[in-house]
Chain A
Amino acid sequence: MSDQLTHTSQHHIKLSEESLQKQTTTLNLGPTHPATHGVFQNIMEIDGERVLETVPTIGYIHRAFEKIAERRPYYQVTTLTDRLNYCSAPINNMGWHMTMEKLLGIKTPKRVDYMRVTMMELSRIADHLVCNSVVAVDTGALTGFTYVFQYREKIYEIFEEVCGSRLTTNMGRVGGFERNFTDVLFTKLDDFIATFPKMMKEFEGLMNRNRIFMDRCIGAGPISAERALNYGFTGPNLRATGVDYDVRVASPYSSYEDFEFTIPVGTKGDVYDRYMVRNDEIWQSFSIVKQALAKIRKIDAEFPDQKNVFYAPEADKFHLPVKEDVYTKMEALIYHFKMVMGEIDAPVGEVYHSVEGGNGEVGYYLISDGGRTPYRLHFRRPCFIYYQAYPEMVEGGLLSDAVIALSSLNVIAGELDA
């Protein structure tokens, strides 16, 4: 096997001739640096303020998720998915549940779909809020950050009400949710819907047409649509280049076809376009949340018997029984034990399912050999795929543009390294 390995000396940093002769400077940005918002290392060759070359190094927080997944019962894989993109964990969780449902052939009730859409769009708002406010911080405007984080906090309180945790949510189960939406949750959602637009408009007023911000962002870190597609870009970063590819529309899941929304696109694919696309997507997601909530309420009003539907009944082999039943009925207790010990086998199959995550197409390629754990599980992680275009985007630009290009790409270290 040793002949298949590359020599380690190849990995050592080679200083270029110009650098050795002190014509240019070699700058090590990262692995941890306030401007990188995560563990990213870039070894840059700079001439004054111009970036001539940059070599990204990744893998500092690699946690071997794909290997761990091969040893874990299916329901325990959920906790791995929310540690990928920890800014919008519920989307990853539900993408995984939907992959399992596809494998098992489970069709979820409409009410469950709408509940999922509510949670997924809220996490998209949270994800984009963080990204956009961080772009603002990197351009020197710290105020907007403090505005939006109050509302990110409100979204996390909503998550807490649904699943009990905030960042790494482990939300939902195969087939639906672990429990129904509570009345407190509906109150919190109503409060969010009532107060969010005012804050968002204020944030937009601070940033969107701000002359300094625009001058700083327009033309920084651009990429063409053609190159972006070749690099496998998805999500807001692809749409900023003018390609209207969105998994929610291209291959709808979780009843997205029932919702009215538009796909905002940019033109040049620079930092400002990415910022604006995310900004518009926040409004679209906000509208979807409102629609989904209205749909849930409509179902509850028209069909009172469906008020307690929060998971697909045919998913009972993967959905933990209600706690009262576990304590009082023997069969429920047996099922609970079997599930928690992970002794439920999945059918043989090969399935790819993707959802529109905060940063693009989050894909799950699952091979099941009929056992209790996946035979092979591969995560298509959008950050990992588009971060390789970073050198091409920043080379020839200014060093400070490279910093805002990194934050506007919204590269999440957890998703990058898996």
Chain B
Amino acid sequence: MALTNETIQEKLTEKFGEQLTEWEVPYGMLTFRAPAEMNLKVLQHLYDAMGFQFMTDLTGVHFPDRKGEELSVVYHLHNLVENIRLRMKIYVPVEKPDVYTATKLFSTANWMERETYDFFGFNFVGHPNLIRILNVDEMDYFPMRKEYQMEDPTRVDKDDEMFGR
């Protein structure tokens, strides 16, 4: 039986019940939210039982306004046989951004997680080599977090107020 967004949702709900939430299909891609501590279980199930064996993308997003779940990891998985994609999100608090690493399942997650650590400061538990990858080693903050503005906020000689910036 060919997989469709509906059948994937049915199968996952059958397996994990109410733990997977926020089902959406924005622009045709099935999206759901998993509890942070369950990310590996869901990934493993998707890998073994449902053929999602290709990790297209792994990235982070920072939502400073969501208290207690400021940081989000977004996984894009692809079932190459059925040619269908899905997106899974998990949320963790910024004070304790612990996420289980997916490197055991997908070798490609190694550098992607390093990059996500580098920019957002996730602590990928069990990652073999969690060090900065693109930024300089001496950097002491995580630049993609929203509190770090592009331009120096202390500058007074520039006034962009008229342009809505």
The verdict on A230 contacting chain B, using a C-beta distance below 8 Å, is yes
Q: Which of A133-141, A256-264, A360-368 contacts B (4 or more CB under 8 A)?
A: A360-368
List the 7 closest pairs (A to B, CB-CB), nearest first.
A232-B108, A59-B134, A378-B59, A62-B134, A11-B137, A388-B111, A71-B150
A8 / chain B contacts, CB cutoff of 8 Å: 137-138
Q: List 7 A-B contacts (CB under 8 A).
A: A59-B136, A67-B144, A68-B150, A71-B150, A351-B27, A352-B87, A387-B111
Contact A365 B57 (CB under 8 A): yes
CB distance from A278 to the nearest CB of B (A): 21
Rounded to whole angstroms, the CA-CA distance of A352 and B135 in the bound complex is 25
B85 / chain A contacts, CB cutoff of 8 Å: 352
Interface residues of B in 81-106 (CB under 8 A from A): 83, 85, 87, 97, 106
CB distance from B160 to the nearest CB of A (A): 11
The verdict on B132 contacting chain A, using a C-beta distance below 8 Å, is yes
Within 8 Å by CB of A351, from B26, B121, B143, lies B26
The verdict on A130 contacting chain B, using a C-beta distance below 8 Å, is no
Rounded to whole angstroms, the CA-CA distance of A101 and B108 in the bound complex is 29
0/1 interface trace, chain A 223-234, chain B, CB 8 Å (1 if under): 000010111100
A378 / chain B contacts, CB cutoff of 8 Å: 57, 59
Contact B108 A388 (CB under 8 A): yes
The verdict on B74 contacting chain A, using a C-beta distance below 8 Å, is yes
Rounded to whole angstroms, the CA-CA distance of A64 and B138 in the bound complex is 16
Rounded to whole angstroms, the CA-CA distance of A365 and B27 in the bound complex is 12
CB distance from B151 to the nearest CB of A (A): 8
Rounded to whole angstroms, the CA-CA distance of A99 and B53 in the bound complex is 25
Report the contact-size class of chain B (Cβ under 8 Å from the partner): 35 or more
A contact face: mostly helix, strand, loop, or mixed? mixed
Contact B57 A388 (CB under 8 A): no
The verdict on B141 contacting chain A, using a C-beta distance below 8 Å, is yes
Contact B61 A232 (CB under 8 A): no
B108 / chain A contacts, CB cutoff of 8 Å: 230-232, 385, 388
The verdict on B32 contacting chain A, using a C-beta distance below 8 Å, is no
Which chain A residue has the least Cβ–Cβ distance from B74?
Answer: A365
Given A8-B138, A10-B131, A388-B110; A350-B80 close (CB under 8 Å): no
B87 / chain A contacts, CB cutoff of 8 Å: 352
The verdict on B17 contacting chain A, using a C-beta distance below 8 Å, is no
Interface residues of A in 364-418 (CB under 8 A from B): 365, 367, 372, 375-376, 378, 380, 384-385, 387-389, 417-418
B55 / chain A contacts, CB cutoff of 8 Å: 232
Given A5-B140, A229-B80; A59-B135 close (CB under 8 Å): yes
The verdict on A1 contacting chain B, using a C-beta distance below 8 Å, is yes
CB distance from A22 to the nearest CB of B (A): 27
The verdict on B33 contacting chain A, using a C-beta distance below 8 Å, is no
Contact B57 A384 (CB under 8 A): no
Contact A350 B26 (CB under 8 A): yes
Contact B56 A66 (CB under 8 A): no
Which chain B residue has the least Cβ–Cβ distance from A418?
Answer: B134
CB distance from B34 to the nearest CB of A (A): 16
Which chain A residue has the least Cβ–Cβ distance from B121?
Answer: A4
The verdict on B133 contacting chain A, using a C-beta distance below 8 Å, is yes
Given A230-B108, A380-B57; A349-B27 close (CB under 8 Å): yes
Contact B31 A230 (CB under 8 A): no
Interface residues of B in 1-55 (CB under 8 A from A): 26-27, 29, 31, 53-55
CB distance from A194 to the nearest CB of B (A): 38
A243 / chain B contacts, CB cutoff of 8 Å: 80
Which chain B residue has the least Cβ–Cβ distance from A55?
Answer: B129
CB distance from B83 to the nearest CB of A (A): 5
CB distance from B117 to the nearest CB of A (A): 9
The verdict on B107 contacting chain A, using a C-beta distance below 8 Å, is yes
Within 8 Å by CB of B134, from A58, A351, A352, A367, lies A58
Given A350-B27, A363-B56; A64-B131 close (CB under 8 Å): no
Contact B26 A349 (CB under 8 A): yes
Interface centre among A62, A102, A361, A376 (most CB of B within 10 A): A376
Contact B140 A365 (CB under 8 A): no
Interface centre among A68, A243, A350, A380 (most CB of B within 10 A): A350
Given A352-B76, A388-B107; A62-B135 close (CB under 8 Å): yes
Rounded to whole angstroms, the CA-CA distance of A123 and B87 in the bound complex is 30
B62 / chain A contacts, CB cutoff of 8 Å: 376
CB distance from A257 to the nearest CB of B (A): 14
Interface centre among A251, A378, A384 (most CB of B within 10 A): A378
Contact B107 A67 (CB under 8 A): no
Given A2-B140, A376-B61, A385-B111; A232-B54 close (CB under 8 Å): yes
Within 8 Å by CB of B31, from A102, A343, A350, lies A350
